[in-house]
Amino acid sequence: MPLLVIGLNHTTAPVSIRERLTFGPDIIVAALRSLTEIPGIHEAVILSTCNRTEVYCHADDDADEWTRDWLARFHGLSVEDIAPYLYLHEGRHVIGHLLSVASGLDSLVLGEPQILGQVKNAFQTASDAGRTGKILTRLFQHSFTTAKQVRTDTAIGDSPVSVAFAAVSLARQIFADLSQQTALLIGAGETIELAARHLVQNGIGRIIVANRTIARAQELALQFDAFAIALTEIPSHLAEADIVIASTASPMPILGKGTVESALKRRRHQPMFMVDIAVPRDIEAEVSNLEDVYLYTVDDLVEVIQDNLRSRQEAAEQAQEIIEFQVDEFLAWMRSLDAVGLIQDYRKQAGEIRDEVLARAIRMIESGKPADEALNFLAKTLTNKLLHTPSTRLREAGSNGQHELLEAANALFQLGHGKSGND
């Protein structure tokens, strides 16, 4: 089956590798165009989040090497740099993988709902760029339906577990009373909104929202009685923050070591708790070397998250059963495409034979032949031409002992041959 996915995720690669293979919104359309310009790659969707980068393709056989080489080359890396961290799925396994991803079964946080929106956005971007066709469109639409069924029919999303929840849970372990703390949230996307909601539920004293677009920061701040600032204002307000949670799509760090050092001096070295959920990272890795700073990346949240997952394990098993069934459903549709093409070709061939014989019959009438003679010619000739090739092939099958072909023809034409017991 000409389906493949090549990628890496939080289980196969550390954040230092994942951040080198991300596709930001500013480059993803160009990347899709570059990928589909490779001969043999017909459709493509790129899914790029903080926890994974995956390239889905409908392509010719043996396209896995082309796709892998392209992934490395596009990011200015060698294949050897990324090969140890990559996984490859083909055919049926592509379908199962995507359905698992969309349903939250392959996420760092089991059953987290945000990934479905990310998968939808990835597909929509590829579709708007004209890089999807019948196969990937049907596959991704199928994944959306399956994810909805998993969410509806299982308890996979009942527990409040997410990366944002894990970050706030970790903050509570460090600060016993959040009512006396100020949180600086960098970004204004879904993860930051979730973090703000969890902070408010846990009694946070004050929230500052920093974003590139100040209007979006203000919109989010209104929901949580927070204070909105632009990213450029962070150095002036960082010293106020006891908790920093960052999640933007910036290709470069937002917070550098020098900025944090200055803030610590103004805080008289009161500790700062930082969680960098972004990939690529929003906070320079060197910040972790500073005293009085507790810096965690998305990978460091695994242990916290695992403690909150046990209630979802049974639901995940139920979800897997749904996914296996839906994989079979999609495969059945894929197999039907072969029949559709065959039927179309057969109808085309029959139509050409009909038009040829009909034209000859019309010419007979025009030349003065009786109509009944022309009709008799039309009926006999059309029948003979339509049956010639199948009849010849069946005789050959009989001579060669190809009983399966004979049985298939018997079923196809519903002849009932052999049922009387006299054959």
3-state secondary structure of 344: helix
| Distance set, CA 286 to CA 95, 255, 295, 334, 335 (Å) | 40, 10, 10, 50, 53
Residue 350: pLDDT band with limits 50, 70, 90: confident
Say if residue 187's pLDDT is above 90: yes
| Distance set, CA 156 to CA 103, 112, 230, 305, 355 (Å) | 9, 8, 37, 14, 59
Taking alpha carbons only, the member of 226, 230, 188, 192 closest to residue 206 is: 226
- In this predicted model, which residue has the larger pLDDT, 380 or 156? 380
Say if residue 265's pLDDT is above 90: yes
CA dihedral 106, 108, 111, 116 (to 10 degrees): -70
Catalytic residue among 4, 50, 214, 228: 50
Q: Does domain 3-158 have CATH number 3.30.505.50?
A: no
Say if residue 338's pLDDT is above 80: no
**pTM > 0.85: yes or no:** no
Residue 160's pLDDT is: 55
Quick: pLDDT tens for 396-408. Answer: 877 888 877 777 7
> In the annotation, is 57 catalytic?
no
Residue 391: pLDDT band with limits 50, 70, 90: confident
Interior CA angle at 49 toward 315 and 200, to 5°? 70
145 and 102 in contact (C-beta within 8 Å)?
no
Residue 21's pLDDT is: 95
Orientation angle between helical segments 134-153 and 313-366, nearest 10 degrees = 140
Say if residue 418's pLDDT is above 70: no
133: amino acid identity, one letter? G
Say if residue 165's pLDDT is above 80: yes
- In this predicted model, which residue has the larger pLDDT, 214 or 351? 214
Residue 421: pLDDT band with limits 50, 70, 90: very low
Residue 389's pLDDT is: 81
Say if residue 343's pLDDT is above 80: no
Residue 274: pLDDT band with limits 50, 70, 90: very high
**Percent residues over pLDDT 90 in the chain:** 61
Residue 300: pLDDT band with limits 50, 70, 90: confident
Say if residue 30's pLDDT is above 90: yes
Structure tokens at 247: 């999640």
Taking alpha carbons only, the member of 203, 234, 209 closest to residue 223 is: 209
Say if residue 273's pLDDT is above 60: yes
| Pairing verdict, β 272-276 and 293-297 | parallel
Query: Where in the chain is CATH 3.30.460.30?
Result: 3-158
Residue 308's pLDDT is: 62
Residue 159's pLDDT is: 62
Distance CA 357, CA 284 (A): 78
Say if residue 164's pLDDT is above 80: yes
Quick: pLDDT tens for 303-332. Answer: 777 766 666 777 888 899 999 999 999 998
**Percent residues over pLDDT 70 in the chain:** 94
Q: Tell me which residue has tokens 């519903």.
A: 414
364: amino acid identity, one letter? M
Q: Does domain 163-307 have CATH number 3.40.50.720?
A: yes
Distance CA 358, CA 377 (A): 9
Helical segments of 154-268, H only: 163-174, 190-201, 214-223, 234-237, 257-266
374 and 365 in contact (C-beta within 8 Å)?
yes
The phi and psi torsions of 6 (rounded to 5 degrees) equal -120, 135
Count of Cβ atoms closer than 10 Å to residue 310 Cβ: 10
Residue 420: pLDDT band with limits 50, 70, 90: very low
Q: What is the DSSP string of 99-140?
A: HHHHTTTTSSSTT-SHHHHHHHHHHHHHHHTT---HHHHHHH
Interior CA angle at 193 toward 188 and 199, to 5°? 125
Q: Tell me which residue has tokens 């004293």.
A: 205
Helix (H) or strand (E) holding 46: strand 41-48
Average pLDDT, the chain: 89
Distance CA 420, CA 336 (A): 32
Count of Cβ atoms closer than 10 Å to residue 247 Cβ: 27
Residue 340's pLDDT is: 62
Distance CA 49, CA 95 (A): 19
Distance CA 200, CA 179 (A): 9
Mean pLDDT across 41-59: 95
| Distance set, CA 371 to CA 122, 137, 365, 378 (Å) | 63, 52, 6, 10
Distance CA 208, CA 199 (A): 12
Say if residue 347's pLDDT is above 90: no
Query: Where in the chain is CATH 3.40.50.720?
Result: 163-307
Weakest-pLDDT range from 105-119, 257-271, 274-288: 105-119
